[in-house]
Structure 1
Amino acid sequence: MASVEIPDVTVIIGAYEAMPYLIPCLESVEAQTLGADRMEIVAVDDGSTDGTGEYLDEFAARSKVRTRVVHQENSGGPSKPRNVGLDMARGRYVFFLDADDYLGTEALERMVAMADRNGTDVVLGKIEGIGRGAPKSMFGRTLERTDVFSSNIKMTLSAEKLFRRALLEKHKLRFDQQLYTGEDARFTLEAYVRSAGVSVIADYVCLYIVRRDDGKHITQSGSYAMRFDSAKALMDLIAELYPPGEKRDELMIRPFVITLLPQFDHRWLKAAAGTRRDKLDLARPLMEKYWTPGVARRLKVPERLRMHYVAEGRADLLENHLTFLQEKKVPEVIRKGAEGKPYLGYPHFGDEAAGVPAEMFAVTVSEWVDGVRVTAPRGAAPQRAVPRPSFARRVVRKLRRMARGALAGRRPARS
């Protein structure tokens, strides 16, 4: 058991206008099986006016968990509160907990045990969304030790993980206070890369992430320009860590798929003309610098085509592609060559006037087309893990195909 002076875990909570979400958040820390004598809380009230600061003071006065509260002027984002908390932390490990989320009862005990057993520096605990989605692809099974290239952990870069504090201090890792969204992605990815190993707990829900009804969470309220800033910050970090090549391309998947692609989805079709142009302008320098054939080969065809059209500044082709997707049309699978190399017949495949290279339509990672898995020829490109649809979803797809077939069979023959 850790001494009073050095707790096992410092839970760092940055809180802004967090009521009433803060109440179950703090209750979940108090309820930890790790024990009050093995942890501490550092809570930073970031200029709240809704009673958040007062509640933190009341909690600190009565809780068995040692709690220190800092009151500061509003900083505009989560970075400064986390940095203040990290500077004050005394634990062997730190866990950054958002004030509107809460922990599973055994979360910290399991995470500390995992890190101590394996000597790993970062521990990811399974996440469940409350009123919102949650990352899943990296939680297929528990991993005692892994890294950023041997698993899909790069696809979850939120800060709500257990970090060995010695790692953060050794590399002087702090959150970028110039970023107001995506600041945790840069921090967490660097921690992954610098670490002596990462562990994944997949058999117990450690963290529940909550959708706020008031829309005050930064990921709900931030402008789209912030998303491009965060994409640039992460891409620049990856370029600092790795020279051009396979490793850089592999990590670049994350900012392209998670940050840039959503800026060019069905909502782009509905946006005003000025917003469309602005997004293409914001993306242009990133595409020029970091969009490479290696990154392109690692994406599914519909993802790759969207990014290709953005890179080329082809708003017309992007609009055609997004309209095809929005109408839920299914591309034809076209096989060419002796090996039957598969291509997907999205708009402008084979259209010489459009000038889109055929390789943009080639299947290079396994993907599902109308319930059928289409796989690239062996050795075509590095494969990215694609989760198989659930049994229920496969049954629904099969029933839909059967229904379409039955309907076709009932149609009268044309004269």
Structure 2
Amino acid sequence: MTAPALKVSVVIATYRSGAGLDRLVASLDAQTLPTAEWEALFVDDGSGPETLARLESLAAERANWRVIPLEHSGWPSKPRNVGVEHARGEYVSFMDHDDELFPDGLRAAYSFAKRNRADILNGKESHTTAVSWAMTQYRENADNIRGQVDPFPVAPMNPHKMYRTEFLRTNGIKFHEGSRVLYEDNLFNLEALSRASVISTMADVPYYHWVRDGSTTGSSTFRRDPAEFFGSLERVLRATQEFLSEPSDAALRDAAISYQHRLRFAGHFNAAWARRSPSVRQREIELITPLIAEFIPERLDATLPRRLQAKMHLFRAGEWDALTSLAVIEDQLDPHHKLESVVPGDDGGLDITTRSVWRTPEGDPMRLEVRDGRFIRRLPDEIRSLLPAELLDITDDLRASHLAIAGRISSPLSTWAFPGSTELVSQDSEAGHEAVFLTRGRFDPATAQLGHPATPGMWDLGVDAVFLGSASQRRIAVPPDVRAAQLRLGSRDSYLVAGSDKGKLAISVDVPWHVSNAFSRGFAISPMPGGRARLTFPHVTSAADGVDGVTITLLPRRVASFAKRRRHVMRRVLERLWPAPSRPLQVSPSGAEITVPRRLFRSGRMLFVTLGGASPRQPLGIHVGTRDGEIKRLPAG
């Protein structure tokens, strides 16, 4: 067999690509794997001359890029299959045309896959808006999880993975083609799972960023048609039975069906479903009922958390009104994480303790009774009377809840859980007993990213939680009396930023200046050679954001010193200096930036930064120079 000419072929299915393509191109240009060792194949699905000319122009400037034009097929499946046919790499990596790879993604993923002779490499994936996305999947590296059932080996079931090219070709594994083939990625991964011998998980190096910016995609539209949605799920369930039909795969087959059951059948009965009209709910029940009867035996309900088991009990009993009411009650609970303590350790770490509860929007706790050391749910009588007693006992699910202190770095966007422990306690409330979790974790900049050093920048600290089978991640709330502080964590300069964003906890690692942000959108400052500094605004990604310039207002030292003690004086001074000249921003898909003299940030000075035409009373953020290692912070307004 002839050795592959390249290590990796990156296959990108394109169709009328928009601004997101610039983000993808920038991420490919930033790869640490030498360009002589990989290629990018842009397989265009008949976009037309404008997109094709754009792609060809990009490829003309890069020797390892190729463009393959196709007639319009209507779905990414055919372009991906054609990409595999043309691939010269030992491994093939699929990308959507508006996503991005992390800079070391290709190098690290190929090295990990090659070392394990993996057929499939599942690399750490981040999601723009779902902070807790796939965190249970990427808790640790694994050489081979082919026989694993929890978490499911190829979850998440999208194609953002690395596959051995010859493995796909030899087994004839292809995406199902057509003008609209929903869940084609599920079908592809199920077949790949059934044929694979080695499936590796790479969790310690970020690989893929699934960008969700609110734009509509084909895969986000089909839930509008219940018949199409559940018809597609039927196809996935039949494929599961077909591809995992061997007796040796019985446990894996059950795990695959339970995966769909938890997410798209039992999990379908949520508050959003309850808000639909009675006629729509009834239509969906009519579509779901035969699928559950054929594919999901009652014994698989036991693999679900008790809260979902209760819903399935009501569903199988035909108690639709009670099911609707329970769906509303379940989805009202939101996590609240409060900082209990934060203490620098002697060995360079930061010990963090939080107290976590789940409550309704009105602040009411989940109602519990404690009987003989067991936690029993208190539900309305009309629901409680329809459920067997064992489904009201959620003790085991509470004890199985997994909470960990976690940090999210915005550039490059990724989330990391830190080592620690969780303790389940209870406390009395007016409604009875309430489940409370004390979570302890250690943030160590030397090992924060699964043994790797923390990326310099601002880390938002939260709690990654799997509570009663439901995953979430929320920021840690900071009590008003907690102040900002400069820390020396090992060899890293760090700044603990208390209440940096709506009273939430963050820590800045190796960033000498921090700018607080009054509106949940901040900016970073980093030094540059030649006495310059760069201000970066990650949330400004295109001219459509309505921002074309930045106003920087510098207060003299004496005025700043007085203004810090007299907030009304600070506002008046700022208005007197308004309007200041606007400086143009360089806007790109990865954010906007401007370079300014570093002398602006000398100790003791105060700097106001305002984007676009914002009011002088509402600056984006305030930077106060540091002196004697202390951070001074003032909220805007």
Q: TM-score of the superposition, structure 2-length normalised?
A: 0.54
1:138 deviates by 0.6
Pairing of 1:152-167 with structure 2 (within 5 A): 152=151, 153-167=153-167
1:322 is matched with 327
Q: How does 1:8-407 map to 2 (within 5 A)?
A: 8-48=7-47, 51-73=50-72, 75-133=73-131, 134-149=133-148, 151-152=150-151, 153-177=153-177, 180-215=181-216, 217-224=217-224, 225=226, 226-240=228-242, 241-242=244-245, 246-327=251-332, 328=360, 332-333=367-368, 343-347=376-380, 351-352=384-385, 354=386, 356-363=387-394, 365=397, 366-367=400-401, 371-372=435-436
CA contact (8 A) 1:19 1:51 kept: no
For 2:383 and 2:273, the matched residues in 1 are separated by 25
Structure 1 vs Structure 2 CA RMSD: 3.3
For these two proteins, the number of residue pairs brought into alignment is 379
Alpha-carbon separation, structure 1, partners of 2:161 and 2:297: 31
**In structure 2, the residue corresponding to 1:214 is in which secondary structure?**
coil
Partners of 1:249 and 1:343 in 2: CA distance: 29
Higher strand share: 2
Q: How far, CA to CA, are the matches of 2:366 and 2:312 in structure 1?
A: 18
Q: Whole-Å Cα distance in 2 between the matches of residues 323 and 140 of structure 1?
A: 31
Distance 1:188 1:148, change over 3 A: farther
**Worse-superposed segment, 304-313 or 319-328:** 304-313
Whole-angstrom distance in 2 between the partners of 1:120 and 1:385: 33
Query: Given the superposition, is the C-alpha separation of residues 326 and 212 from structure 1 closer, same or farther in structure 2, using an over 3 Å criterion?
Result: closer
Q: Which amino acid aligns with 2:223?
A: S
Structure 1 residue 360 displacement after superposition = 4.1
Task: Decide which moves more: 109-118 or 327-336.
Answer: 327-336
1:52 & 1:371 partners in 2: Cα distance? 55
SS in 1 for 2:281: helix
**Gapped regions of structure 2 (runs ≥ 5):** 333-359, 403-423, 425-433, 438-466, 480-637
In structure 2, how many angstroms separate the alpha carbons of the residues matched to 1:285 and 1:62? 55
- What's the offset of the Cα at 1:102? 0.6
Q: Distance in 1 between matches of 2:312 and 2:435?
A: 24
Greater Cα radius of gyration, structure 1 or 2: 2
- Note the C-alpha offset of 1:207: 0.8
- Provide TM-score, normalisation by structure 1: 0.79
CA contact (8 A) 2:149 2:251 kept: no
1:50 Cα shift?
A: 9.1
Deviation at 1:13, TM superposition (A): 0.7
Contact residue 40 and residue 91 of structure 1 kept, 8 A: yes
Higher relative contact order (CA closer than 8 Å, sequence separation 6+): 1
Counterparts of 1:350 and 1:271, CA distance in 2: 20
Tell me by how many angstroms 1:325 deviates.
2.2
Residues 182, 227 of structure 1: 8 Å contact kept: no
CA deviation after TM superposition for structure 1 residue 388, in Å: 9.1
Distance 1:149 1:333, change over 3 A: farther
Alpha-carbon shift at residue 321 of structure 1 (Å)? 0.5
For 2:506, the equivalent position in structure 1 comes to none
Choose 99-108 or 164-173, whichever is displaced more.
Answer: 164-173
Which segment drifts farther, 107-116 or 47-56? 47-56
Checking the alignment, whether the CA contact within 8 Å between 1:21 and 1:101 is kept in structure 2 is yes
Cα deviation, 1:265-301, whole Å, max 9, x if unaligned, reads 1111221222212211121121102222332111112
Higher helix share: 1
Any unmatched runs of 5+ in structure 1?
Answer: 374-383, 397-415
Letter of the 2:54 partner, please give it: Y
Is the contact between residue 263 and residue 279 of structure 1 (CA under 8 Å) also seen in structure 2? no
Rounded Cα–Cα distance in structure 2 between residues aligned with 1:125 and 1:310: 37
Q: Secondary structure at the match of 1:8?
A: strand
Counterpart-to-counterpart distance in 2, 1:371 and 1:54: 59
Deviations 1:350-369 (A, max 9, x none): 855x4x44444454653489
Q: Is the 8 A contact 2:149 2:255 kept in 1?
A: no
* SS of equivalent to 1:97: strand
Point out the more displaced range, 125-134 or 111-120. Answer: 125-134
1:112, distance to aligned residue in structure 2 (A): 0.9
Q: CA deviation at 1:318?
A: 1.3
